[in-house]
């Protein structure tokens, strides 16, 4: 099934990254030299998404600027003949009108953010991508779209039991095909005792339009927020719900540790830095071995 739209909820306050995120969106934090949100948009574009819908909030205008021209910069690079750098600066300019922005006026949860985009979505399934879940390879949402048939599909991964309370956790059902598992139940941020498994939801979803009607009820769940997990859980039994177990490595870039790990991993993979960084790491931390 062709999915043309993706929602990027970017309205969060980023409190885990203060003071860095006091006046700067956490989605603009760079992994090597690219902001998190650009990785998310590139993953969506790679999956054939044509309309990019951002749910923003106050103080997030640098995200809009990032996906627009910067005439002063571009002109300067042009005059200096820096063609490659100019190309990098223009990389994220899509077809005019393919980016849309809607404001979430209060931080009332992920479900509330997604619901804020309702008027921009018709009677069609839509992708939802959380930029702070960085998944290597830029292919996960494409694989999900390729395997999607109906209902709701969520990216899933195994997490350590001690971490279940940071995630939406699924009750797995039958294993279907191509890394897809039926989902029988979903619970947002359960205690270790109440967690039905250690299989967690990661920030890639394909949701059906009926989810907006669920979110319309404005029911509050975990952390007194309107949870996307709860809306999807309410649809189980009415429609299909499945989990896609992606293969690539995922970094929780909403946490300092995950953010640093992503930076180290991707820096070590960058041809520009690989050699010198490895030499430095060896010398500094590993007694010459690495």
In this complex, which beta carbon is closest to ligand G1P, that of residue 51 or of residue 227? 227
Find the part of the chain contacting ligand G1P (CB under 6 A) among 66-74, 199-207, 212-220, 240-248.
199-207
Closest by Cα among 51, 40, 35 to 2: 51
Find the part of the chain contacting ligand G1P (CB under 6 A) among 31-39, 135-143, 194-202, 211-219.
194-202
CB 215 within 8 A of CB 108: no
What is the number of other CB atoms lying within 10 angstroms of the CB of residue 82? 13
Find the part of the chain contacting ligand G1P (CB under 6 A) among 92-100, 121-129, 137-145, 200-208.
200-208
In this complex, which beta carbon is closest to ligand G1P, that of residue 77 or of residue 170? 170
Its sign, for the CA torsion 222, 160, 47, 207, is: negative
Find the part of the chain contacting ligand G1P (CB under 6 A) among 83-91, 112-120, 195-203, 261-269.
195-203
Only one residue has tokens 């030299």, namely 33
CA distance 117 to 53: 7
CB 11 within 8 A of CB 113: yes
Find the part of the chain contacting ligand G1P (CB under 6 A) among 119-127, 198-206, 232-240, 275-283.
198-206
Q: Judged by CB under 6 A, which of 54, 101, 167, 205 binds ligand G1P?
A: 167
Q: Judged by CB under 6 A, which of 201, 211, 232, 236 binds ligand G1P?
A: 201
Q: How far is the CB of 184 from ligand G1P (least distance, A)?
A: 16
In this complex, which beta carbon is closest to ligand G1P, that of residue 16 or of residue 118? 16
Q: Judged by CB under 6 A, which of 25, 203, 221, 243 binds ligand G1P?
A: 203
Residue 102 φ then ψ, to 5°:
-135, 145
**Position 183 contacts ligand G1P (CB under 6 A):** no
**Position 151 contacts ligand G1P (CB under 6 A):** no
Q: How far is the CB of 157 from ligand G1P (least distance, A)?
A: 9
Query: Which positions from 48 through 67 interact with ligand G1P, judged by CB under 6 A?
Result: none
CA distance 100 to 232: 24
Query: Which positions from 241 through 260 interact with ligand G1P, judged by CB under 6 A?
Result: 254
Q: Judged by CB under 6 A, which of 7, 41, 49, 130 binds ligand G1P?
A: 130
**Position 200 contacts ligand G1P (CB under 6 A):** yes
CA distance 273 to 270: 6
CA distance 244 to 253: 20
CA distance 241 to 256: 32
Bridge partners (DSSP) of residue 162 are none
3-state secondary structure 68-117: CCCHHHHHHHHHCCCHHHHHHHHCCCCCCCCEEEEECCCCCCHHHHHHCC
Q: Return residues touching ligand G1P (CB under 6 A).
A: 110, 130, 133, 167-168, 188, 200-203, 227, 229, 254
């Amino acid at each position: 099934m062709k999915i043309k739209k993706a929602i990027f909820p970017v309205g969060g306050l980023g409190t885990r990254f203060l003071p860095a995120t006091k006046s700067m969106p956490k989605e603009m934090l760079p992994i090597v030299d690219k902001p998190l949100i650009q990785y998310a948009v590139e993953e969506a574009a790679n999956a054939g998404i044509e309309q990019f819908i951002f749910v923003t909030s106050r103080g997030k205008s640098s995200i809009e600027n990032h996906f627009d021209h910067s005439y002063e910069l571009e002109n300067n690079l042009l005059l200096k003949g820096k063609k490659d750098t100019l190309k990098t600066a223009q990389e994220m300019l899509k077809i005019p009108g393919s980016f849309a922005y809607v404001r979430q006026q209060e931080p009332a949860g992920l479900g509330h953010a997604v619901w804020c985009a309702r008027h921009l979505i018709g009677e069609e399934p839509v992708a939802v991508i959380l930029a702070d879940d960085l998944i290597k390879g830029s292919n996960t949402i494409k694989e999900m779209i390729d395997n999607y048939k109906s209902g709701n599909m969520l990216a899933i991964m195994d997490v350590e039991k001690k971490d279940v309370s940071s995630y939406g956790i699924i009750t797995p059902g039958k294993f279907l095909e191509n890394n897809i598992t039926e989902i029988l139940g979903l619970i947002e941020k359960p205690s270790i005792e109440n967690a039905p498994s250690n299989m967690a939801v990661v920030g890639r979803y394909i949701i059906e339009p009926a989810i907006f009607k669920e979110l319309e009820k404005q029911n509050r769940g975990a952390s007194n927020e309107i949870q996307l997990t709860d809306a999807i859980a309410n649809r189980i039994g009415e429609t299909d719900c499945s989990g896609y177990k992606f293969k690539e490595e995922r970094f929780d870039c909403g946490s300092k540790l995950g953010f640093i790990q992503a930076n180290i991993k991707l820096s070590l993979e960058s041809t520009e830095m690989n050699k010198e960084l490895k030499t430095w790491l060896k010398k500094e931390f590993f007694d010459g071995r690495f």
